[in-house]
Amino acid sequence: MVVVKESDLKLINKPLVSVDWLKSNLNAPSLKLVDASWFMPGTPRDGFEEWKQKRIPSSVYFDYDKRICDHSSSLPHMLPTAAFFAEEVSLLGINNDDDIVVYDSAGIFSAPRVWWMFKVMGHENVAVLDGGLPAWENAGGAIDTSAPSAIAPSTYVATFDASRVIDKHALLDGLTNGSVNAIDVRPHERFLGSVPEPRPGVRSGHMPNAVNLPFASLLEEGKFKAEGVLAELIEDAIDDDKRNVASCGSGVTACIIALASEQALNKPVTVYDGSWTEWGGDHDLPIVQGE
């Protein structure tokens, strides 16, 4: 008698999938594709409009910046409540038992944010397409340029996982008592505070005792570096005796290291949702400039 493990029944077992994998599984009944393309403020591009014009077939658009976010917060694209997330994801036709593959049009940039959001909301079978839409197109993957079809809503239930997210109060406590290791993934110049922050009113510098691992160092030509390289880079930044927390500018690229750590080391990294926009903008919170 052959015993089949539950993990063997899952279409997705790791947080990253390749273009070849997606080509082989594109027509799987449980597969749902999600376009999470988003661009920094001031960039003359619109992810939603681009999705309407060109997308991987059957993909839906996930707007975490203006729609599926906490509309009561003054901070950009903060995580919504589990109830609101479930309501919006239901409108995208996604079910709890779906295998979700998220991609973006930059290669690897905003898709890990949506991967992380689904993880926070208790969804296990979710992954990011390595290389995103550019890699898919370069490999000759099918592209849909027709008008998007109407989506049949589903019923999604979110189960909030508090271990995957942290607020400024818990982070400050953890930095103060030494139980948290903060990993800042912004470029080194911003970490040092030697250049001004792009958002008005946000101070330059970093959190006390934070380490710097720029997210760009994990990527190469729009894809993640090899697992062995990722493992070495991340091992140098994490602390196995503390809760590892990733921070960036506004909670987007911090999710890149969270995904990379699970892919290469099977080690979770918590994300500080408010990131430097909140921390640097709150003059009651401590900052350090220089190394």
Residues assigned a catalytic role = 248
Collapsing DSSP states into helix, strand and coil, what is residue 112?
helix
pLDDT at res. 43: 86
At 10, the pLDDT band (50, 70, 90 cuts) reads: confident
For residues 67 and 123, state if they share a domain.
yes
Is 179 found in the same domain as 91?
no
Whether 176 has a pLDDT exceeding 70, the answer reads yes
Q: In angstroms, rounded to a whole number, what is the distance separating the alpha carbons of residues 82 and 95?
A: 15
| 134 and 201 both lie in a single domain | no
Alpha-carbon gap, residue 75 to 63, rounded angstroms: 16
Note whether 12 and 147 are same-domain residues: yes
- Residue 251: its pLDDT value, please? 98
DSSP for 165-177?
EE-HHHHHHHHHH
Tens digits of residue pLDDT in 126-159: 999 999 999 999 999 999 999 999 999 999 999 9
Res. 6: pLDDT tops 60: no
User: Is the Cβ–Cβ distance between 152 and 32 less than 8 Å?
Assistant: no
Instruction: Judge whether 284 lies within some domain.
Output: no
Q: Distances from the Cα of 282 to the Cαs of 112, 166, 185, 207, 275, in angstroms?
A: 26, 16, 19, 12, 11
d(CA 167, CA 55): 35
Q: Say which CATH number the domain at 226 has.
A: 3.40.250.10
Q: Of 160, 191, 210, which closes a domain?
A: 160
Write down the residue that tokens 């995103």 correspond to. Answer: 132
Q: What is the extent of the structural domain holding 135?
A: 6-160
Question: How far lies 192's CA from each of 6, 43, 211, 237, in Å?
Answer: 46, 25, 11, 16
Residue 113 within any structural domain of the chain? yes
- Let me know whether 74 and 148 are in one domain: yes
With pLDDT > 70 as the criterion, what percentage of the chain qualifies? 97
Place of tokens 């110049």: 189
Residue 291 within a domain = no
pLDDT for the residue 290 = 87
Distance separating alpha carbons of residues 218 and 262, to the nearest angstrom: 13
Q: Choose the final residue of a domain: 109, 137, 160.
A: 160
Do 148 and 16 fall into the same domain?
A: yes
Question: d(Cα 129, Cα 102) in Å, to the nearest integer?
Answer: 6
pLDDT at 42: 80
Whether residue 128 is contained in a domain is answered as yes
